[in-house]
A and B are shown apart, each in its own frame.
Chain A
């Protein structure tokens, strides 16, 4: 796995060398928590797993930096196979929404407490209608948001989901489907 780091102070790129156990991945998400990168899901290994990369223990050898990498095995946490999802961090919890699991788009909201590494496959929802199945969408955390134009009340903190791709065909079929409106 190749990890590139752009130093904002020096405006220079550096390569972060990680162990060979850290396999190549795509369609995953990365969140920074407690000075570590939590990398969830990826396609190249079947869309399964959580990797934790600690760049603070880096050692530099011949211009390359080595970070400590930990792979949390499936035996420890029963992760679903997911990719093309979003992962939004709020306090100690990562909220994982949508994506593609085993070739099927989903609209499941699951959570992972990064402090305890406890996983909740389906977060209980108390009301409202969840977004439809989708992948390639975006999500971000906001402290407050006014949901309706005619109602000045704000809610929050909240996760805002924008757009995405939905359709009936799985990824084994051609790239065909519909795009969700952004707003």
Chain B
């Protein structure tokens, strides 16, 4: 993550290396999207592809939220992994069989979140929902 301060025109390199504290760090990727939401002050990053040392490109369908004004614990968390065109592409770097596909069309968002998110992240989501009544990421998935 590289940051250009438009006030000072200075480049910075941001680091979130404390794995486990911030949730699962996104895999290296290209062709993804990153949008800042003025609604909740978060950056939502979706999808892309990954193909390091692999002749075939792996398409990703995961969604991450990142709070740019706070890089403390829980500033970054994975909302879900999903399906692209009916094919599940597991997140690179995770152990095979450890992660399950989120069946977005066959279960409620609450069920999906309960199944795919670590407990501490679910707690953060509940706190956030209670505070704002609505989670933009969940709304998007519906």
- A contact residues vs B (CB 8 Å cutoff): 90, 95, 97, 109, 123-131, 134-149, 154-165, 175, 178-183
Contact = CB atoms under 8 A, between A and B. Distances in A.
A141 B38 CA distance: 10
Interface string B70-113: 11100010000000000000000000000000000000000000
Contacts of B51: 175, 179
Interface in B24-61: 25-36, 41, 43, 45, 48, 50-52, 57
A149 B21 CA distance: 11
B12 interface: yes
Nearest to B57: A175
Given A128-B10, A179-B30, 7 more contacts: A124-B9, A140-B35, A146-B68, A161-B4, A163-B29, A163-B48, A178-B28
Contacts of B48: 163
B36 A161 contact: no
A138 B35 CA distance: 9
A160 B9 contact: no
B7 A157 contact: yes
21 contacts: A95-B4, A97-B4, A125-B11, A127-B8, A131-B11, A142-B68, A145-B14, A149-B15, A149-B71, A156-B6, A158-B3, A160-B1, A160-B2, A163-B30, A175-B51, A179-B29, A179-B52, A180-B28, A182-B29, A182-B32, A183-B25
Contact of B5 (A135, A138, A140, A155): A155
Lowest 6 A-B CB distances belong to which pairs?
A128-B11, A136-B30, A165-B30, A145-B68, A138-B34, A179-B28
B78 to A, nearest CB: 12
Contacts of B6: 90, 95, 156-159
Contacts of A179: 28-30, 50-52
Interface of B: 1-18, 25-36, 41, 43, 45, 48, 50-52, 57, 64, 66, 68-72, 76
B32 A163 contact: yes
B57 A129 contact: no
A174 to B, nearest CB: 9
Contacts of A165: 30-31
Contact of B28 (A125, A147, A163): A163
A141 B5 CA distance: 10
A137 to B, nearest CB: 7
A137 B12 contact: no
Contacts of A164: 30
Nearest to A86: B34
